[in-house]
Structure formats: structure tokens, C-alpha cells
Structure 1
Amino acid sequence: MARPLKILSVAAEAHPFAKTGGLGDVCGALPLAHHRLGHDVRCVLPHYASVSTHGKATIQNTGRTLSIPVGISNPQAAIHLTHLQNKVPLYLIGNDFYFGRKGLYGEGGTDYPDNASRFVFFCRAALEWCKAIGFQPDIIHCHDWQAGLVPAYLKLVYQHDPFFKNTRTLFTIHNLGYQGNFDVSTLALAHLPAQAFHTQGLEFHGRFSFLKAGLVYSDLLTTVSKRYRQEILLAENGFHMEGVLQTRKDNLYGVLNGVDYEEWDPASDPWIAAPFDRDHLNGKAVCRKTLLEEMNLTVPQKKPVVSMVTRLSWQKGIDLVRDGFAQIMKENIGLVLLGVGDPAYEAFFAKQEKRYAGRFACKLAFDEGLAHRIIAGSDILLMPSVYEPCGLTQMYALRYGTVPVARSVGGLADTVKNFNPDTGRGTGFNFRRFELKYLLQSLRTASGLFANRTPWRRLIRNGMSQNLSWERAATEYIRLYRKALREP
């Protein structure tokens, strides 16, 4: 029997302590899944001012501090300890100058100007903390650009350190569009060798790139769906990194994210009005009725309630919805939107809520409980993304018997299969081209089927029967960790 692995997860987010999107969900759930499989897992996270206790989680001061070289200074890292669900140790790397701020990466839609030094500090501190407590990881799993310097440090600074002699790295690309590209002066901030600043190293179009550091220096690479792995090798979706990825494609894998079925379970969800499962769907009707009351909407019984729970950004296809809003509302559906993001989008939807009072409701906020109630109470989820590395919302929707209408890209293509009424197979409705007429066509098809009770129930049950658990994804990651450890 293979021995348990020692795994360190390095990420800028981990639900419930810090989250702006899917990255936080993944980094809060995957370590727990590995713990359940019997592995020794630890996590490190910046100690943001907004980190809050969750449930019975407490935050303890370890009393330990580390001196971390950043440029010409040596700021102190104060280490606190908490746990994911009282099971997985999560170490908080603290420094009030870097992390004692309102936001994670910026405020008011603008990034903090010193994000480079903030995450240089975080990456170096994560490795120094391992040495301080004597935790020698077999694998360091690094997530997105904020953790991209960890593999670079191991290959360029700690390459002769016996402590990390047997440590390997796996870097996960959650969204290639976020790269952490900064001025070349970041090289000196990070105390990385000048000879590493070249086109096969840290240099990216004359700038210093955290993401490229992860892509070049990690032992293995993954992204969060099989389709997205294919897409990012092409210029259309490569964000100018496709050349780097092509050179590493033999070490690039697609692992579809999972769903935390303890948190997202309609049979036991404390946020929703009534429980239900695939064999007992009456509770879903109660959830719909309650949602309409909460959002002050009136929708005919034979018309679907359509929802969007999303970041309001161009990536999520909001332009398509904005430009076709009047035509979408002509379908006589109810529409609920929950999300925050671009101020121009927020202003547009606030204006439409007044225009379509009683048929369209939006809440421009991040509200975890309302997200659960919307997904449970709506009939259709709309996800017209420009690109979607994985997407978690459609997975939550499938679990809750809410039918996705989605653009067939990335993880949406892997999880939403067109429903065929003749065979009874499929989990939703998808469209390929980013054009309003195709979105409307799929929405009309779904809306038309909604009035037909028997095939609609079959479609709902198909979605609720999918195995999108984290155990599936976690097992695949363990296989890749062991592969990295076997290779020289």
C-alpha cells in the first residue's frame, strides 16, 4: 500500500477564510478531500484583515515570527494557526503592512500597487515556515499567480538546500487571464538570480511574471478542466502564454474541479427553504416559491425562473446579456441576478431592475446564503461565459436540479451536455458561438421544455445524478503527485 503523502497547499484564497471566487472554493475543499483520503495536508494563506472565524474555527497566535527578505528590507511574518473544518491545519502568514487592508488584491476595482512585494513576501514565507516547523512536504501544490514564485524559489534559491531535496511542485492554473506581471525591479525584490530573467525563465514581454514562474519551474502543471487544458494551448485562449504552455504540454493535465457535497447538498442545506433530493423534488417547488417572495417577483407557474450567480465581468459573458436584455425579457421569464463587479454592469442592472420590476431582481453583493437560495429556487442557470476554466456554479446548479444553459467552453463543455428528449440523455443546454441568437435559442429550448413535466424531471434527475465530488478530483491529484515524485 502506498504511503500517505505530505502535502502543502499554497494559495491566496481558501473558503471560508478568504474568497473572491472559485479559487477560494477549490483551496478550501481540496485539502479536506486529501485529508479524508488519509494524507497529511497543511495550508498557508495570507492573514488578510478580512479573514474571519467561521463556525467553531478559532485563530491562534503561534508566537512565531520569521524574517523574510524582500528587496532591501526584512519584514516580519507573524504566524497564526486555524483549521479547515477543525481538521486541516491552515497557517496564516501575517504582516499588517502587506495584508492589514480592506481587500485581498485591491480596492475599488484597482489593484494594490505593491502586490508584487506582497506576494514575494508570501511565497518566500511559505517555504521558510516549512523549515521553521520541520514540515518537509512531498508535494507543494501552488495555486494561481500569487503562489507562482514558490516553484521558482525551490529551483533557483533552495536548489541545494537538503531540507527540500525530495520536494516536488504542482502548479494549478485556475485562470490564465490573471498573470501577476510586474516591473523588472521585482527580480531584485524577490532576491532571484538575474540570469533567470530571460524568455525561458521569468521574463514575459519585458516584465517579471509570477504566473510564468509557476509555468516554467513547476514539476507538473494542471488546469481545472480537460477542455480548458486544450483551449489554453491555442492563441485564442492562451493570453500570450500559449508558447510557454506548448513547451510544457507533456506535463500539463486537466483535472476537473469538484463540489463540496457537504456544503452543497439540497437534502441538508441550512440556507434553503425546504430540503429535496432527486427522488423527492417537492421541496424544490417550495424553494422556488420562497425565492420569488424574497425577491418580489411574479412568474407564471409554467414559466421558468432563470438565475445568474456570477462575477460581473466581461469574462462571464455579461456583454451578451446586457446587449440582449430586452430580448431576453421578452421570453416572459423571471430573472434573478446575484453578483458584484464592473461598476458599469452594476449600474446597468440596477436600472433594469426598476424597468422590469416584478420580473427581474438583482442584488449587487456577495451573499453566500442568497446564492444557495437562488440556485435552489431557480429552474434554469444562465452561464454565457466568454471563457470558463472550470466553473463551479453550474456544478452547484446540477446538484440542485437547476438546469444550466451555458456556452460550450472550458469546464462548461465538460459538465453541461445537451439534453436529447428522444434518448433522455443530457444535463442541460449549451451553445458554441458567442452570439445573442444562439443564447436565445438555447434559452427558448430550455424554457419550452420546462412546461413539459415528464422530460423536465428526467433532465433534472440526470443533473442531480452526476458525480462531481471532490473525492474524484482529489484522487486524480494524488496520482499526479506520485507521478511528480517518481520522475527525476
Structure 2
Amino acid sequence: MKILFAASEIYPLIKTGGLADVAGALPVALRKKGHDVKLIMPAYQGILQKVAPIQLTINLGNPFGAGDLLLLETHIPQSDTPIWLVQCQSLFEREGGPYADKNGNDFHDNHLRFAALSWAIARIAQDGKLIDWQADLVHLNDWQTGFTAAYLKSWQQAHPPIVTTVHNLRYNGSFDMGQFSETQLSPSLLSMHGMEFYGRFSALKAGLVYADAITTVSPTYAREILTPEYGDGLDGTLKALEGKLVGILNGVDYEQWSPDQDPLIPHAYQINNIEQKQANKLALLQENGLSDDLTHPIFGIVSRLTEQKGLDLVLAAMPSLLEKGARLIVLGSGDKALESGYQRLQENYPTQVSVRIGYFEDYSHRIQAGIDALLIPSRFEPCGLTQLYALKYGTLPVVRQTGGLADTVFEEGDQANGFVFQDATSEALGAAMERCMDAFYNTDQWRKKQITAMQQDHSWEAVTDQWTNLYHSLFTA
């Protein structure tokens, strides 16, 4: 099949979260299965320096009055995966991240920026003559590409089937109704059964209601978002669309995340020499200037620091465990109050707690290899990738039973590979961490869970057939 895969961030070009990892890996896995996949994303500032030379440029004109939209054909670095970059200097080449300025404030014209991206996606999806390649199917990801489905709907011409994947429903791309005319979409789409959203208009809702299939990144999350608790105002819409909703668990690129071949960790290891993990643990402690006593567990966090991730619960639960000898290593950024809370914890326990604000890819690998347990106490978690990385590294996750965490981490039975709690309270988290510490001191029990974790296969190859079956179903329905 010829698949146009659209995303607002793609690893290794740019990354703010799991979407980039998925967009960088799933198309590669599909190409290995023989599918002809082309990626498309914006040409943000600095992106052109990271890709192969531009092979072709197509001018799509100036539909939004912000400057010409150019399609630049190239390849992902060190890969034969083709990508189209949508270039418009006034919209995409800015300081800061893909969605917000350097102070963390959303760009005021995100509705226009991602309308322009979506318009370009829709143009090449509908008119293969533009690039001498006609897509059989368009795969959209999250709200930033959701307007694509609205353009294809409003143009009322034949177009390929649309799959929309929701990586996090909370980010719905809703904007003030006064900005709608700038998108040049038809006002006929502004109904409760269209893209109207509580007096605003939503790019994600457009991507849902005008798609032929909707996916989420885990089976449990697909069920959860049908409820008011997890539906973030879209549960009614999703309930009406339930017949085209499916959950497919994310995979992991084991060429990037596997301790036996990871160039970013000090000591490679695998199941048959898992004791080498201790060497990584010692190196991590020394790197952070922490007590290098290996007889107590290290808990770790690699995450956005938000209440969604339940990281306020850790601040409440952690002191009692630190008093018992545990250590904590944190990498992340986000809510300023949480950042300050973790920095205060570090000040109070300087030989047991290390906190780095920000995100550093190489350091995240060293953390996964060096800690004993990864904390993911999320209030909701569409899929989660860090727990999948942790499993491969013999690092046992401590998770709340929700979304993709519920589908991948188990405390009991033959699949036991971590520690699970139910209620989003510091007491429930603390109890799970206590059980984790007890298991850590029982070497045989701990090693058994580690081996189970490392043996599980969450590779993209293992889930690609599910995607292929979904794609084909859109042509046989």
C-alpha cells in the first residue's frame, strides 16, 4: 500500500514526546513489510540541517497569506525513509519548540500553522499528480494534522481513506471561533456533529469525525476514552464513533532501545549477563554524585513533570522511602511547581536525590540502564513508552493501572514484570513502592521479574500486522 503518514514531530528530527518516537518507527516497520510509506511534517527551524539534501521542491502557493508553502522532498538521516517537509518560514521557522515559544507559551497562531500543514497534506493526498505518487491511505496523528480530514471533507472530492491516531486526547487543538475564518474551512463543518467543540472549533474533533478509522495507542485507553472520566469532553463524540475505534498498542524500536546494543550506556548487557546492570547502576550514581551503596534500590522518573503523570504523588510518597535508603533520579520538565518540588527534595536529600530539568536523550538511556525501578503513577496514560523501554532494560515499572500501563505491566502471574496500584493517591503509590522495595531485597523474586520483563516482545514488528489488517479493512468494508 502507498501510505502518507503525517505527524507534527518525528524522531530523530524533532521530539517533544512519544508521538515523535512512534512517527519515527512505525513507518519504518511498515516499509520493512513492503509498504510504500512517505512521511510529512513541518520544516521547523534547524530541520533542514538534519536531513539529506533536498531532491525536489514544489511550490503550493500562498493559500493563507503567510508566504509560499513549499514541499521539500528528502530522506530521514541514515535512512531510506522518504519525507516531505512543509516549509513556510513565517509559520514554522521560529525559536522555541514546535508548538510553543522559548518561554513555554503556545504560539498565538497555532491554528493557522497547523491548518497550513494540514492543507498541504490534504493537497498531496488528493492530487497525486503534484508529487507523482498517489496515496492509497492517509494516516494522521493527533490534533496538529486533524484539519486535514476537514479539508478533504469540505472539498467534496474523492480522496483516500483516513486513519486518525489519538496519542493523547487531552490535547484537542481547540481554538476561539473568531479564528475559524483564517483556516479557510467551510462554516458548514461547524456543528455539534462536525468540528464544533463547546463554542470553539477543534482540530482533533475534525480528525475524529471525518476519519474512516480512529485508533488509540492501547486497547485499554480506547475503552477509557468512551467515559466522561477520560473522554475530556469528547466521550460523547467517540461513543457515537465507537464502531470505527480500535486500540493498537505502541511498539518499541529495539535498535534504539536495547541494552545489548545501546551505544549510549556505559556497559552493555542482556539476560544472560544481567549482573552488568549493576555496573550501569554504579556509573549512574557516580555521575550524579549520589551515595554509591548498591544494596538499596534506585527509583527513576523520565517524564514530563505534570499532574497527568501523577508526579505530585511521588513527592508525597518519596520521603518515607528515602528514609529507608532508597534513591531517586529524575529527568524531566513541565509544571513549574513540580519542578520546584523535586528540586527541594534534592536539596533535602542531596546524597540520595538527583534532579535534572529538561530532556536529554542520551541521559534517558543511562537512567533506564542504571535504575532499578521506573515510576509512572499516571492519572491517565494513553500508552506510555518509557515503561516499554524499562522492561527491555530489566528495570521494573511501578505504574498505576490505567491505559497502556494496564496493558503492559503486571504484578502477579506468569507475566509479572512490575508493580501495579489502582487509586491515584500517594498512599496507594507508596504501598506499591514498598512492595517494590521488599521484592528488591528478595534477589530470586527480583531476578525472576527482570527476566520476564526482558523477554517480552514489544517490537514494532510484533504489532505491524495489526496496522496492516486495519488499513486493508478500509478497502474491504
Q: Deviations over 1:46-101 (max 9, x none)?
A: 111142655xx42426232211422xx26311232332342210111011110111
Q: Which amino acid letter does the alignment assign opposite residue 151 of structure 1?
A: A
Q: Which amino acid letter does the alignment assign opposite residue 468 of structure 1?
A: H
Q: Is the 8 A contact 1:138 1:485 kept in 2?
A: no
SS at match of 2:163: strand
1:437 maps to which residue? 427
SS at match of 1:279: helix
Q: Deviations over 1:238-295 (max 9, x none)?
A: 0010000000001100000000011101101000011111122132111111111111
Q: Which amino acid letter does the alignment assign opposite residue 147 of structure 2?
A: L
Q: Is the 8 A contact 1:387 1:409 kept in 2?
A: yes
1:58 maps to which residue? 52
Q: Deviations over 1:344-371 (max 9, x none)?
A: 2222222221221110001112100000
Superposition deviation, residue 185 in structure 1: 3.4
Whether 1:45 aligns to 2:46 is no
SS at match of 2:339: helix
Deviation larger for 188-197 or 118-127: 188-197
Q: Which amino acid letter does the alignment assign opposite residue 216 of structure 2?
A: T
SS at match of 1:45: strand
2:334 maps to which residue? 341
Alpha-carbon separation, structure 1, partners of 2:421 and 2:53 = 46
Q: Is the 8 A contact 1:312 1:318 kept in 2?
A: yes
Q: Which amino acid letter does the alignment assign opposite residue 60 of structure 1?
A: I
SS at match of 1:208: strand
Structure 2 residue corresponding to 1:461, chosen from 437, 445, 451:
451
- Show structure 1 runs of 5+ residues with no match: none
Whether 1:199 aligns to 2:195 is no
**Residues 121-200 of structure 1: matches in 2 within 5 Å?**
121-130=116-125, 131=127, 132-157=130-155, 159-161=156-158, 164=159, 167-200=160-193
Q: Is the 8 A contact 1:299 1:305 kept in 2?
A: no
SS at match of 2:117: helix
Deviation larger for 232-241 or 270-279: 270-279
Whether 1:8 aligns to 2:4 is yes
**Residues 363-378 of structure 1: matches in 2 within 5 Å?**
363-378=356-371
Alpha-carbon separation, structure 1, partners of 2:432 and 2:316 = 17
Alpha-carbon separation, structure 1, partners of 2:424 and 2:140 = 32
Q: Is the 8 A contact 1:152 1:218 kept in 2?
A: no
Alpha-carbon separation, structure 2, partners of 1:362 and 1:74 = 41
Whether 1:106 aligns to 2:96 is no
Superposition deviation, residue 41 in structure 1: 0.3
Alpha-carbon separation, structure 2, partners of 1:279 and 1:156 = 58
Please report the TM-score for the alignment, with normalisation by the length of structure 1: 0.94
2:88 maps to which residue? 95
Q: Deviations over 1:366-417 (max 9, x none)?
A: 1000000000011100110110000000000000000001101000000001
RMSD of aligned Cα (Å):
1.5
- Show structure 2 runs of 5+ residues with no match: none
Q: Is the 8 A contact 1:67 1:74 kept in 2?
A: no
Superposition deviation, residue 342 in structure 1: 1.5
Q: Report percent identity of matched pairs.
A: 38
Structure 2 residue corresponding to 1:69, chosen from 55, 63, 67:
63
2:437 maps to which residue? 447
Q: Is the 8 A contact 2:415 2:452 kept in 1?
A: yes
Q: Is the 8 A contact 2:221 2:381 kept in 1?
A: yes
Whether 1:115 aligns to 2:110 is yes
The 1:325/1:10 distance shift into structure 2, 3 A limit, reads same
Superposition deviation, residue 456 in structure 1: 1.0
2:403 maps to which residue? 410
Q: Which amino acid letter does the alignment assign opposite residue 447 of structure 1?
A: M
Superposition deviation, residue 307 in structure 1: 0.5
Q: Which amino acid letter does the alignment assign opposite residue 264 of structure 2?
A: W
Alpha-carbon separation, structure 1, partners of 2:53 and 2:171 = 30
The 1:381/1:52 distance shift into structure 2, 3 A limit, reads farther
SS at match of 2:313: helix
Alpha-carbon separation, structure 1, partners of 2:57 and 2:73 = 10
Please report the TM-score for the alignment, with normalisation by the length of structure 2: 0.96
Q: Is the 8 A contact 2:321 2:434 kept in 1?
A: no
Alpha-carbon separation, structure 2, partners of 1:30 and 1:118 = 25
**Residues 356-395 of structure 1: matches in 2 within 5 Å?**
356-395=349-388
Q: How many pairs were matched up?
A: 471
Alpha-carbon separation, structure 2, partners of 1:279 and 1:393 = 23
**Residues 415-426 of structure 1: matches in 2 within 5 Å?**
415-419=408-412, 425-426=415-416
Alpha-carbon separation, structure 1, partners of 2:400 and 2:321 = 16
Alpha-carbon separation, structure 1, partners of 2:467 and 2:34 = 14
